[in-house]
């Protein structure tokens, strides 16, 4: 029979620690950059009497926002792959709680 003083095998665990980018902020930033590029294209050129500047802006807004989201998503994927290469291994140890968690029947009222 095993001694009760032995530590369980789950007391030490090896984990991977890395800094991974969050994709949604990159996609939002890509959309904003795309909108700025669309505004520069629409309003930064000499006006063409055949097309209204707001019509040109609307067309390029759709194209540039989509392109910006795609490009910045690819950038986030590249940064994510780079963070995998820089990942470090660490060993964590379980520590007993000094105060037990409240159970489902324990509402804190006596």
Q: pLDDT tens digits for 27-44?
A: 999 999 999 999 999 998
Phi first, then psi: what are they for 97, rounded to 5°? -70, 140
Question: With contact defined as beta carbons under 8 Å apart, do 65 and 38 qualify?
Answer: yes
Is the predicted pLDDT of residue 45 greater than 80, yes or no?
Answer: yes
* Mean confidence (pLDDT) of the chain: 82
pLDDT of residue 104: 67
**Greater model confidence, 14 or 73:** 73
Is the predicted pLDDT of residue 66 greater than 60, yes or no?
Answer: yes
From CA 101, how far away is CA 109, in angstroms rounded? 15
Taking CA atoms, 29 is separated from 26, 37, 56, 82, 107, in Å, by: 5, 12, 22, 20, 45
pLDDT of residue 21: 84
Global confidence as pTM: 0.65
From CA 74, how far away is CA 78, in angstroms rounded? 6
């Amino acid at each position: 029979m095993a001694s009760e003083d032995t530590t369980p095998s789950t007391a030490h665990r090896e984990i991977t620690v890395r800094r991974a980018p969050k994709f949604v902020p990159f996609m939002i930033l890509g959309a904003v950059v795309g909108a700025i590029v669309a505004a520069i294209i629409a309003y930064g050129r000499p006006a063409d009497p055949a097309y209204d500047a707001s019509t040109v802006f609307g067309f390029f807004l759709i194209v540039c926002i989509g392109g910006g989201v795609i490009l910045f998503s690819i950038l986030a994927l590249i940064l994510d792959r780079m963070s995998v290469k820089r990942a470090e291994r660490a060993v964590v140890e379980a520590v007993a709680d000094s105060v037990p968690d409240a159970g489902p029947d324990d509402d804190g009222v006596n």
